Every structure is written in structure tokens, then in C-alpha cells.
Amino acid sequence: MTKTKLKFIDLFAGLGGFHKALHELGHECVFVSELDPTLRQVYQENWGIEAQGDIKKIVEKEIESIPPHDILCAGFPCQPFSKAGKQLGRDDDRGTLFDEIAKILAFRKPKFFILENVPFIKQHDNEETWNYMHNELSSLGYTVDHQVYSPQDFGVPQHRKRIFIVGSLIGLDHFSFDEIDEQKTPIIDIHQFIEEKPKLFKELPKANQECLKLWQTFIDQIPKETKLPGFPIWGMEFGATYPYEKSYPLKLSAKNLGEYKGNFGKALKGMSKKDQRANLPSYARVEKSFPSWKRNYIRQSRDFYNDNKKYINGVVAKIAEYPSQSWQKLEWNVGDGERKLENYILQFRASGIRVKKVDFFPSLVCTNTQIPIIGWQKRYITREEGLKLQSLEGISLPQNDNAAFKALGNAVNSKIVKLIAEKLIQEQPKVVELNGAKKAINGTQVNSAITNELNYERIK
């Protein structure tokens, strides 16, 4: 912990993951920006400071209202760069918010910054986005470094990789991510993050429980000597014959497509093109060739069905009755683990029902439809458990559960920020002039481009 209390600003602040980390290190927040009005209110309740609104408008019209500070923190919106999104990057209006960060850095010249985003930002647009960002930060006089971490690296059972980008106007000779790496631990006890008898919790709806029972019956019908597949099981492909290797269904006329079968072996003969389309899996209603990964999953699911249909036909007919195709898919990610769904961490996702080992939770995301489920308790994780997974224990969340879990999904993990900040934020060396040459008293090399920003005294 540094001895000097420094001032920091918290941009795209959310619940205040950066604030919690730097507050615990003894620093003072002097400015906050958050677009969501609900989160602005919660932020003030938690931290006692009023959060301002749209940072773009502030930077454009009143950048001087952002007070001088030593540290800029920003977990700027990740959706434009996320592989789960459309990957529009800087073509997305939110993707240009990095430019607002750069303008603040140029105007106030804080000594340090810590930024957080999804790792894919480094590969986005053939690394053009990353090169642009790095060049902008370097041109402002910052020495820049980065590393990818997940809470699970430091004993918090959540798989959530994020890139952390740091910068310093006094160089980074005093800082190395290697020191952060030394604090990694393989020891994770997920049960320390799960309440055995929580007072407040949301039970898994009966319909979801019945769906899991049906898939459990499916699993139970598979012979023990048959390995459960690690690829996603797409139930709609059970009995389907529509073309997918070299062509695609909608390329065919209604008459030609009528020679094939669609969802769960539904005959397409005699249907209009519109009805044929409705009886195909949603991912097959395309007007271009299937990508290779999709062809593989279709082929694997069909082969698995053909090998096991004599065991599972009865239960497959019931799975086919579900109106949601996401409930007709299963992602078994536990290998040779015990074949009991209730023993695992579960998620109902658009891609299917995902089954995960009990070693760490999947990444919290900004949608309430994918809240992790504790299978053996038949409930979603609680708000308090979500806070623990983001190292945000002790703070208040929005009253509405949907808003609360959306905020948790967007939050930065406070523990990782604290580990980085503790090593990054150091007191500046005092610069002196000896025989006409400026040098740091402690011997640290000081970037000549910023020596005029440092306080120094002349020794005669």
C-alpha cells in the first residue's frame, strides 16, 4: 500500500469495482461517470459520491469539470469487442468511448491508468483496434503494458478472462505483471462461495426442473459403456436429413426440400416453403453455406442419434415437444463425471443447457437469463454469491434482480484490480538537477518527455 493518498476517477463505473479496490488501498475518488441512472443512484448509496452521466457529453462540453487526478480507471464497454457480440468494435458508438478516455488523459495527464476489457479486443479487426489504442496511449507519453487474468487465477471460482491494460507517465520500471502472477493460486474451494441455506434465493422454476428431469432420463437411457459426447448435443438433428454439407436447405425449391426431413425427423414433403422453414432448426434458416464448426455439430449429433436411437427414441419425442430450441440442446462439459445433472453447476443458455464441473462458475454475464444454477439446491445463485464472485462483498445492489445481475455481469473484479493497483501505483521519485542533468534521487530513469510534469528541486 502506498503511503500517499492519491486521487482517482472512475469511468463507466457500474457498481464500483475499481472504487472498492483503490479505496481499500487508501486512495480518494474525485469523479465518477456512469450512464445508467439506476447504477448512479446505487453508486452514491455505496460510495457517497454523486456519479455523473454520459461521459461523451461531459468530455465534449465541460471536460474541465473533471478534476485533476492521479489515476484514471475505466472498464469501458466491452460489447463492441466481445466474441459474444457483433464485434463491431470502433464502428459501434460504444466502441469509440476509448477516445473519450484518451481525451481525458491528454487533458489531465494523470500519472497512472488502469483499463479493463474483454481479451478479444487485442485480436479485433486483425489487431488494428489494439494498435490504434496502444499508439494513442503511447503518444500521450504513457508506458503501456497489459495482461489477461481471470478471477479463478486468484482463488475466486469464476471463469472470466479480461484484459487489464496499465499505463504510467513515470515508466514501468517499478512494475511487472510477473509480480501479479506470483500471487496466482491453484487452490479454489467453490463451496466457500456457496451458501448452504441462504435466507433469500430464487428457486429454479418447475418447468426448468422438469426439463432437467427429462434430460436426465435421456442420459440414463444411454448405455454406461457409451461415452457422453463433449460436443453440443443438438436434439433437433435427431432424425433430420436436410442437406448441410455442400448446400443449405433454403437454396432448394419447396419440392426438392420436400424430399428431406427437418426438426426431429419431421417430413417436409407437401409443405409450403414458409412451413418448411418453420420446421427447420433456427440455425439452418440461412441463405449461405454452413460454417465448418456448425457442420461438425450437425454431423456429430446425427451420428450420435443413429448410434443410440433404439435407447432414446421415447424420451426424444418428449424433448421435441419443447417450444424453445434452446431447451432441446445439451452441452455436457463434465467428461466422464457422474451422470447426474443435479451434481453440477448449470445454465440455461441460448446455446443449450450447459453442464459444468463444480470447480468454478461460468462467467457472470449481463443478462438474467444465464444466471448460474446450483444443481443440487435447485436454485439460482444468490445476489450475495454473485457479489463474492466479483469480489464486491459488502456493497448494495439494485433492488431489482434483473438489474442486479446485469450489473454484476458488467462489473470488474475488484480483487484483480487491487492486486494490480497495489504494484502499479507508486510514489513518484523526486527529480533533482546535478551538473545540469536531471536524475531521479532513487536512481529510477525518468522519461525526459515528462520531466517538466514532475516536481524537482535544484541542488547547488
Catalytic residues: 78
Residue 311: Cβ-neighbour burial (10 angstroms; 0-12, 13-18, 19+): middle
- What letter does residue 354 receive in the DSSP assignment? E
At 371 the three-state DSSP class reads coil
Contact between 138 and 422 (Cβ < 8 Å): no
- Sheet strands side by side (includes 379-380): 233-234, 329-332, 352-356, 345-349, 373-374, 379-380
Best CA proximity match to 345, nearest among 371, 384, 319: 371
Residues in the chain: 460
Complete DSSP assignment for 432-457 = EEETTEEEETT-----GGGGGGS-EE
Taking the C-alpha atoms of residue 107 and residue 66, their distance in angstroms, rounded to an integer, is 9
Question: What is the phi-psi region of residue 248: left when phi exceeds 0, alpha when psi lies from -120 to 50, beta otherwise?
Answer: beta
Contact between 162 and 390 (Cβ < 8 Å): no
130 φ, ψ (degrees, to nearest 5): -65, -45
* H/E run at residue 113: strand 112-117
- Count Cβ atoms below 10 Å from residue 456 Cβ, excluding itself: 17
C-alpha cell at 100: 473519450
Greatest C-alpha distance within the chain: 99
CA atoms within 13 A on the CB side of 272: 2
- Sheet strands side by side (includes 7-11): 28-33, 7-11, 71-74, 112-117, 162-168, 143-149
Rg of the chain over CA atoms, in angstroms? 27
